[in-house]
Amino acid sequence: MKKLLLLTCTLISLSSAIWVANFPQADIKNESVKATLYLPDAQQGFYQGTRFDWSGVIASLEYQGHQYFSQWFEKYDPKVHESATGPVEEFTVLGYDEAKPGDTFLKIGVGALRKADDSKYAFAKYYDIVDPGKWTVSKKADRVEFTHELKDAAGYSYIYRKTVRLMKDKPQLVLEHSLKNTGKKAIATSVYNHNFFTIDNEPTGPGIEVKFPFNVQAQGKGFGDIVLAGNNKLTYTRPLNKGESVFSSGLEGFGTSAKDYDFRIENKKTGAGVRMTSDQPILKIVYWACATTSCPEPYISINAAPGQEMKWKINYDFYTFPKTASTN
């Protein structure tokens, strides 16, 4: 009986390992950075939720022995909104308030979703996907190109392209986007990047700092107590406990120029950091952190009239610096 039980457990374990290994994915690299991306797939994909854009989910990224992305959440479910890793992006919904229960609304990078009832839209809720659109993926040594095409979904049509590219001869990852409005309705929305960084799996606390090019100010859950804003950065007074989080619905201090879209997250203990910049001005910045990840969430505006195309970029520059051994 013991042998049978051991064999059964072994088979279950092997089956789980095979299932995990079978997520559609692609590896990219340049001279100093290597990364693994999960690919969109409605049946086998790592992420199948209805919150985040399905393209560009990054499982891991390594630079000079430092790991920047990993699983930050405890429980995994492909259709749960939190089951995403890397610099994942979310577009604000289109057509939800106008839709009646049973009708569809639009989530760019996901598809046409069904409105279940008269309640307000909730990002944590899973909505049935009525039309997933068409995904096309092109894999190359240093980049993955995603194209999502949706036709007449909730009255909208578009071609959305996103390329996750490692630049030649420098430790830089670039997210290149374009959204072409191929329908009759204007597309006016916003998009933000959640930036689920887990640099060397450092717990959220005094070992992590988030820096800005402006005098950042903040109010919200945990601010002024657990997390402090001042001297152009956010710092933690103590580690966050399991299940604990901090949140601000709007960091302040930035201006109208794209130069203020310039953030750094640093692990002071291991001496690894990343700088995030964009060619677009900031609409607003939400900030959220739990015990395993700290996330500045910068929003930008997306506007495309029928027949128009909008393009934008987000850059990630990875670097190292002398670590601070005294950080608690």
Give me the pLDDT at residue 327, please. 56
CA trace torsion 57, 276, 293, 209 (10° rounding) = 170
Domain 6-320 is in which class?
mainly beta
The answer for 307, left when phi > 0, alpha when psi is -120 to 50, beta otherwise, is left
What's the mean per-residue pLDDT of the chain? Answer: 93
Give me the pLDDT at residue 326, please. 60
Give me the pLDDT at residue 7, please. 39
* % pLDDT > 90, the chain: 90
Q: What pLDDT band is residue 9 in, cutting at 50, 70 and 90?
A: very low
Q: Are strands 294-304 and 187-193 parallel, antiparallel or unpaired?
A: antiparallel
If you average pLDDT over residues 7-16, what whole number do you get? Answer: 37
Strand order in the sheet with 245-248: 89-91, 187-193, 294-304, 284-290, 245-248
Give me the pLDDT at residue 33, please. 98
Summarize pLDDT for 243-283 with one digit per residue, the tens: 999 999 999 999 999 999 999 999 999 999 999 999 999 99
Q: What pLDDT band is residue 212 in, cutting at 50, 70 and 90?
A: very high
Summarize pLDDT for 127-186 with one digit per residue, the tens: 999 999 999 999 999 999 999 999 988 889 999 999 999 999 999 999 999 999 999 999
Give me the pLDDT at residue 154, please. 87
Give me the pLDDT at residue 21, please. 56
Structure tokens at 225: 């107590």
Summarize pLDDT for 68-117 with one digit per residue, the tens: 999 999 999 999 999 999 999 999 999 999 999 999 999 999 999 999 99
